[in-house]
Structure 1
Amino acid sequence: MTQSGRWKQRPEGSTWGDFGPDDQLGRLNLITPEKVKQGAAEIREGLAFCLSLPLEYPGGNVLNPRRFPPVLRPTRRGDAVNMNYQLGRDHAGATDVLCDDLVLLHLQYSTQWDSFAHVGSMFDADGDGVPEPLYYNGFRAGEDVVGPSDLTDAGAPEGYGPSTSGARRLGVENMAVKGMQGRAVMIDLHAHVGRAREIIGYDQLMPILEKDRVEIEPGDMVCLHTGFAEFLLELGGNPTHFAVENACALLDGRDGRLLQWITDSGLAALIADNYSVEAYPARPGGDCCAQLPLHEHCLFKLGVHLGELWHLTPLANWLRDHGRNRFMLTAPPLRLTGAVGSPATPVATV
């Protein structure tokens, strides 16, 4: 263990310091050039699959009352709307017609990546008996992940101006620079449990892996197909609380053996087509602990990024029809400095 000036003790089972005292990539360090070449070797047909939902989905704010669909508007050009604008219209013979737009985007509304700054935990890293709000590798709230002090500086902006908050460390730009490209493995939960709301633990997952001959090696990115994103598309942008709260598989974040399997597998990223990868709220776990235990385990302790609301069904069906479960995945987030999450437009190639 490499100790850091930020912490004297690290969470049990964590990777803090394993990749260096100032590491911000976590298990992405396991996506080596060799892993990228392994991903490229899975390209046999040259077929590409878009794994993103349309960014206006799921629709409404049933899944999260704080997140809303994107607002797309044209920019202004003086006193005119900059859409179908004839450039040089005061000049005889000018032929250019221009469009330009902007978007107000909640970064984790639709298909997305979670950065390590998305979920932290209270932990006594100083060894003084007092827990502090921390993030992966001991980066600190208020120093490395900074928010505004005034509520008027949160929520949708009234105008334009520089941001004074955000992730000074652990932001999604680190993922973008890394590239998020390598070999991925599909676990097709939907093929075994359908659209039933099943909470999948270690004992349910292992037989599925064995039956489908799924092997996961260190540095692989793992995708969980539950059918939830396909279900959202069928709902046509009008999901209801009852529909989304009673559909499709989720992982059991309270299952210690499942969390240990994530640790032991060496997977570099964990991705699902459902809302939060794990069941939320988590089943009761005593009088302590995280409300999002799998998020805490992956984002805070292990340095494993999470992907949510990916559209995996067409790819999962193709892989099953062709007796495969591995593919090349390219999925960088926006290179948006300081963001704690980001939309993604992942592409799988087989």
Structure 2
Amino acid sequence: MSNIGRRLSQVTGLFGDGKSPDELPWNPDTTKLPLRKDLPKIPGAPDGAAWVWGKHDYIGRLNLLTPTRVKAASTEIKTGEIVPLDLPLNVPEQPGFGREKFTHTIKPLVPGIAYDDKYELNTQSGTQWDGFRHFAHIETQTFYNGTKGEDIEGPNANHKCSIHHWANHGIAGRGILLDYRSYAKANGVNYDPYTSHAITFEELQKCGKAQGIDIRPESQGGHIKVGDILLVRSGFVESYYERAPEERTKLALRGHTEGQGEAGEEQQWAGLAQEEAMVDWLHDCYFAAVAGDAPAFERWPTAAPYHLHEYILALWGMPLGEMWNLERLAEKCRERGRYTFFLTSAPANVPAGVSSHPNGTAIF
């Protein structure tokens, strides 16, 4: 097919029913979706926005988790083995980015007979979903699907992009792990997860190949299916448990804005590289959600004039998880020789909430 023919095919035959991608809302069951470079311009939205599921949509790419896809993903359950994906609520004991520590109080009702307990926590202090209220497109100060700061706080606050929308929809689908930490160790790529080591798209391709996975979208001949949930293991959790408590605390208290921290030392974390190839891949695979074990998912601080958070959360409406416990999962994947599984998550049902612990589970 000529280049012109391919272009016309992408633009006019995306949905199998002759609809153009300019016709909104999109059908979430479709498997033929436009590349990032072919996204239609959404009136009133920043360039590159994929606000395509309806004017009042607040679940973004979770729309891709249709009954058809969830049923298909359930075929990943072969042995019934369960792998929880959340860290304990008090890990890390000293959160980064200046966040509050988790506190747990036992409340006796009738001593020796009945008790309650009370939690005080920042939902970003440990294993988490970043909700769509967490990070805006910075240039326009706009959150997913046109949500603004005044929708989140102040006298006109409402429930736009609240985390409870995710809870009401539910999260379940096919998970796929890219165990970059194991790949790096096996191939002499030595780095500290507490530094700003960039995991490039090229390296993820090599990691996938080592696992027997072609990380291209299925539409391009690869193994990534529309609606998959991507997990990337950078080694942060492994490194956290290898360090003494005093060192963990010192590193967590590094500044998160210029000039903060001991001797102006800035927080650094390994994560996905801010590069065009990575942005294209994250978009074009049409993941329902992405998550990793690192505190920022992307390389921190960013070396580019943008953050991946802006694309993932604000422009595309794709749930973003951080500090997931992928240690047992990686071990089970290596043991079973497969890196796909059924994945479920139950975010907190908190109207107006910003983020949530995922309560994530992988089932083999």
Q: Please, what TM-score do these two structures have when normalized by structure 2?
A: 0.75
CA distances 1:15-45 after superposition (whole Å, capped 9, x unpaired): 11x1111111111111111221222111111
CA contact (8 A) 2:94 2:249 kept: no
Q: Which amino acid aligns with 1:196?
A: Y
Which of 56, 66, 77 lines up with 1:22 in the alignment?
56
Residue aligning to 2:286: 266
- Correspondence list, 1:94-243, <5 A: 97-123=113-139, 131=140, 133-142=141-150, 144-147=151-154, 168-194=159-185, 196-197=191-192, 198-214=197-213, 215-235=223-243, 238=246, 239-242=248-251
Q: Which amino acid aligns with 1:309?
A: M
| 1:279 corresponds to 2:299 | yes
| C-alpha distance in structure 2 between counterparts of 1:226 and 1:166, whole Å | 37
| C-alpha distance in structure 1 between counterparts of 2:268 and 2:301, whole Å | 15
| 1:346 corresponds to 2:364 | no
More strand by share: 1
Which of 36, 39, 54 lines up with 2:73 in the alignment?
39
Using the TM superposition, give the Cα deviation of residue 211 of structure 1 relative to its aligned residue in structure 2, in angstroms: 2.8
Structure 1 residues not aligned, in runs of 5+: 76-81, 87-96, 124-130, 148-163
CA contact (8 A) 1:183 1:220 kept: yes
CA contact (8 A) 2:55 2:145 kept: yes
| C-alpha distance in structure 1 between counterparts of 2:162 and 2:244, whole Å | 32
CA contact (8 A) 1:69 1:106 kept: yes
CA contact (8 A) 1:271 1:308 kept: yes
Which of 245, 250, 261 lines up with 2:271 in the alignment?
250
| C-alpha distance in structure 2 between counterparts of 1:258 and 1:34, whole Å | 28
Greater displacement, 294-303 / 191-200: 191-200
- Correspondence list, 1:5-20, <5 A: 8-16=43-51, 18-20=52-54
Which of 308, 313, 317 lines up with 2:331 in the alignment?
317
CA contact (8 A) 1:230 1:311 kept: no
Q: Pick the structure with greater CA Rg.
A: 1
Using the TM superposition, give the Cα deviation of residue 187 of structure 1 relative to its aligned residue in structure 2, in angstroms: 0.6
Using the TM superposition, give the Cα deviation of residue 138 of structure 1 relative to its aligned residue in structure 2, in angstroms: 1.1
Which of 314, 322, 337 lines up with 2:351 in the alignment?
337
Residue aligning to 1:73: 105
| C-alpha distance in structure 2 between counterparts of 1:321 and 1:201, whole Å | 26
| C-alpha distance in structure 2 between counterparts of 1:237 and 1:344, whole Å | 25
Using the TM superposition, give the Cα deviation of residue 234 of structure 1 relative to its aligned residue in structure 2, in angstroms: 3.6
Q: Which amino acid aligns with 2:205?
A: M
| 1:64 corresponds to 2:97 | yes
| C-alpha distance in structure 1 between counterparts of 2:236 and 2:156, whole Å | 33
DSSP-derived class of the 1:74 partner: strand
| C-alpha distance in structure 2 between counterparts of 1:74 and 1:53, whole Å | 21
CA contact (8 A) 1:117 1:167 kept: no
Q: Which amino acid aligns with 2:161?
A: L
Structure 2 CA distance for partners of 1:73 and 1:236, relative to 1, 3 Å: farther
CA contact (8 A) 1:146 1:168 kept: no
| C-alpha distance in structure 2 between counterparts of 1:120 and 1:2, whole Å | 25
Q: Which amino acid aligns with 2:124?
A: Q
CA contact (8 A) 2:109 2:115 kept: yes
| C-alpha distance in structure 2 between counterparts of 1:47 and 1:257, whole Å | 35
Structure 2 CA distance for partners of 1:247 and 1:314, relative to 1, 3 Å: farther
CA contact (8 A) 1:228 1:247 kept: no
Structure 2 CA distance for partners of 1:233 and 1:337, relative to 1, 3 Å: farther
| C-alpha distance in structure 2 between counterparts of 1:306 and 1:84, whole Å | 42
Q: Which amino acid aligns with 1:266?
A: Y
Using the TM superposition, give the Cα deviation of residue 332 of structure 1 relative to its aligned residue in structure 2, in angstroms: 1.4
Structure 2 residues not aligned, in runs of 5+: 1-21, 26-41, 214-222, 255-265
DSSP-derived class of the 1:99 partner: strand
RMSD: 2.5
Residue aligning to 1:93: none
CA contact (8 A) 1:189 1:249 kept: no
Q: Please, what TM-score do these two structures have when normalized by structure 1?
A: 0.78
Using the TM superposition, give the Cα deviation of residue 336 of structure 1 relative to its aligned residue in structure 2, in angstroms: 1.2
Which of 86, 100, 106 lines up with 1:52 in the alignment?
86
Residue aligning to 1:160: none
Greater displacement, 189-198 / 48-57: 189-198
Using the TM superposition, give the Cα deviation of residue 192 of structure 1 relative to its aligned residue in structure 2, in angstroms: 1.4
